[in-house]
Structure 1
Amino acid sequence: MKAVLRTAIAAAFSFGAIVSAQAQDSVLNLYSARHYQTDEQLYSNFTKQTGIKINRIEADDAALMERLRNEGKNSPADVILLVDAARLWRAQVEGMFQPVKSKLLEERIPANLRGGDEGQGAQWYGLSTRARIIVYNKVRVKRDDVATYESLADPAHKGKVCTRSGSHPYMLSLIGAMIERNGEPATEKWAQGMVANFARPPQGGDTDQIKSVASGECGITLANSYYYARLLRSTNSEDREMMNKVGFVWPNQQTTGTHVNVAGGAIARNAPHRDAAVKFLEYLASDEAQAYFANGNNEWPVVDSAVARNPVLQQMGKFKSENVSITAIGKNQIPAQKILDRVGYK
């Protein structure tokens, strides 16, 4: 599996360099699927506060998990940051994490945003959230006609719906949440309706979906909220023109609430610097770090006391979120994939 690996220290370091760094007391080896430049401030602030140097490898979630499998018990990883409940759950069941018993984390991170046996300590902690919103073309679609996820499968929207691949973790998590709320038969019927309404086969990422809606190729799509917020904050004239053509909906506000996903962190099973790893997770739950998730990358803090001063998030407004366990969403990815396979949702 190919992936671009980047380093976050002044000079690039290799696997061997990470291993040699294990002899240092003030070091943390971070495997991160977060690829946001705005996170640089988080890491540098942690080092300033603690003196702990962060060696970082970045790749997509699948590549990091494959690397961890290959490294086995010799892995130098201390902390693993993954994006999406489905990926966190998969890494947990494969035994890539170890339980963390931290009073601070348990007090600050809501129980539904933690994974694993609480008696032994959570296997992973959600650190920020993002919502799965509906984006629509203002000319082709009326806002009130797309108020729920379920409404996208209405035959009235035939030829209007675009999404990324159904097998992408973002979609698997949404469908996993729908299974938890509505049951498998109803969710499969919804997936059949979605396929029948496709304007084109699923392709591209969330930003591509928004662009396709703005161009009129599609009338409706699903996207993570931080992609939408990022485009709203853009100073690029083309982006501004594009965003004038689309609107968004917080789905299911009168029923179950909008689906919310999570980016989370865990301590690697064989972490050589466990104490530093715990300190890092606790730092990411601090008000300072939590506010940075919002202000830097348009995500929502999971800690109530954190103050987000992101004008676009404030502009998008408050919404009712679903009350579904992130762990349940992760577990449901297997029946979700089976549903997708049966209905031909590629």
Structure 2
Amino acid sequence: MRSPVLAVVAASLFAVGGCGIVSGDEADLQVYTGRHYDLEQAFTMFTDETGITVEFLSGSDAELRERITAEGENTPGDIYMTVDAGNLWKAAEDGLLATLDSAKLTDAVPEGLRDPDQRWYGLAMRARTVMYNPDEVSPSEFADEHTYADLADPKWQGRLCMRESTSPYTQSLVAAMIDEHGKERATEIVQGWVDNNVEIFSNDVQILENIDAGTCDVGITNHYYLARLLADNPDLSVTPFWANQDGRGTHVNISGAGVITNSDNKKQARQLIEWLATDGQNAFVDGNHEYPVNPDVEPEPIIADFGEFDFEPINAQAYGELNSTAIEVMNEVGYE
């Protein structure tokens, strides 16, 4: 049996130019990952339980797909892991992911969080919803249906903070609105945000800190950024409002994975993904305060206190195909 191997490689994988193994032995599984949250704990637990060693190589989602394509049949990679459903869809459409015949994954991952053709599966869910300062905003000010669109209402003039247009989170949200409402209506919504003098920030933490400070009253962020801040400061004056509860549900995205088509270790790779969706769910998601995709697994306490909500099923194809249209819409109305 090989000794357990875990390697963390620099984020710019092309600068590294290799898998960066830190031991004399090669790991059983190579994971190419765009996810950077608490992988060591989950992979170490998997190795302890199964004896299968895991190494991961980090990079951007696009870089990883390019690398897998360039390596072709000689790729050492076994699993492609990413933090956006659109990227998983692109990898599948490019033929980079194998079809998995796994009843275990089908049972563990709800239909709205996995590929209909079994090429990839969500493993962690992140909700992108409305955040507000309860000292300045009453929940009655929000419309339950189409809450994202409601933020285009002039009543939010000068009160709104959001993420930059280059963020994949923003792009996927706008793509989802285009899918739901059509391009014309989605453009009107984003135009309304701009007309409300939306203040743009480069990350979600800045948005939440400014809501807490009173710089703005309301914004849109991923839920787990709030959970991280609350873990350090339970008195933070920011509360989530679950968007679109009378409509299609709150916009969510996933961190997920699939087995690389040219992997030489498909059986073990599938075993790792199955473990992450079942016995390893809490180890995979709790450290970053993400929601487990498996409905039989309880979320960690901080996000459990956020309450239950209905989520919009993932339309990975829309996130992928409409990404360029989303960018076009934001450029058209001057959303930066």
Shorter-chain TM-score bucket reads 0.7 to 0.9
Residue 27 of structure 1, CA deviation: 0.2
**Large movers: runs of 4+ above 6 Å:** 10-14
Q: List aligned pairs for 1:149-298, cutoff 5 A.
A: 149-200=148-199, 202-234=200-232, 239-241=233-235, 243=236, 245-286=237-278, 288-298=279-289
Q: Deviations over 1:210-232 (max 9, x none)?
A: 11222223222111111111211
Residue 299 (1) aligns with residue 290 (2): yes
Distance, in Å, in 2 between the alignment partners of 1:72 and 1:212 is: 46
Counting only pairs closer than 5 Å after superposition, residues 28-39 of structure 1 correspond to structure 2 as: 28-37=29-38, 39=39
Equivalent position amino acid for 2:162 in 1: T
Compute the TM-score of the two structures, normalised by the length of structure 2: 0.86
Contact 2:113 2:313 in 1 (8 A): no
1:312 counterpart letter in structure 2: I
8 A Cα contact 1:112 1:326, kept in partner: no
> How far apart are residue 59 of structure 1 and its match?
2.7
Deviation, 1:135, is 1.1
Residue 13 (structure 2) aligns with: none
Q: Which residue number in structure 2 is paired with residue 3 of structure 1?
A: none
Counterpart in the other structure of 1:319: 309
The answer for the alignment partner of 1:58 in structure 2 is 58
Tell me what 2:96 maps to: 96
CA distance in 2, matches of 1:47, 1:95: 29
Q: Which amino acid aligns with 2:179?
A: E
Unaligned runs of 5+ in 1: 1-6
- Map of 1:41 onto structure 2: 41
Check conservation: 2:9, 2:20, Cα contact below 8 A. no
Backbone CA RMSD of aligned residues: 2.7
Structure 1 segment 72-111 matched on structure 2, within 5 A? 72-111=72-111
| Aligned partner letter, 1:224 | N
**Per-residue deviation at 1:144?**
2.4
Matching residue of 1:338: 328
1:323 is displaced (CA, Å) by 3.8
Conserved in 2, the CA contact under 8 Å of 1:180 and 1:324?
Answer: no
Q: Which amino acid letter does the alignment assign opposite residue 291 of structure 1?
A: N
Q: Which residue of 2 aligns with 1:4?
A: none
Q: How many residues align?
A: 323
With the length of structure 1 as denominator, give the TM-score of the two structures: 0.84
Question: In the superposition, relative to structure 1, how do residues 45 and 14 fare at CA in structure 2: closer, same or farther (>3 Å)?
Answer: farther
Unmatched tracts of structure 2, length 5 or more: 11-15
How far residue 10 of structure 1 moved from its aligned partner, in angstroms, is 8.9
CA displacement at 1:324 relative to structure 2: 5.0
- 1:15 pairs with one of 15, 18, 21: 18
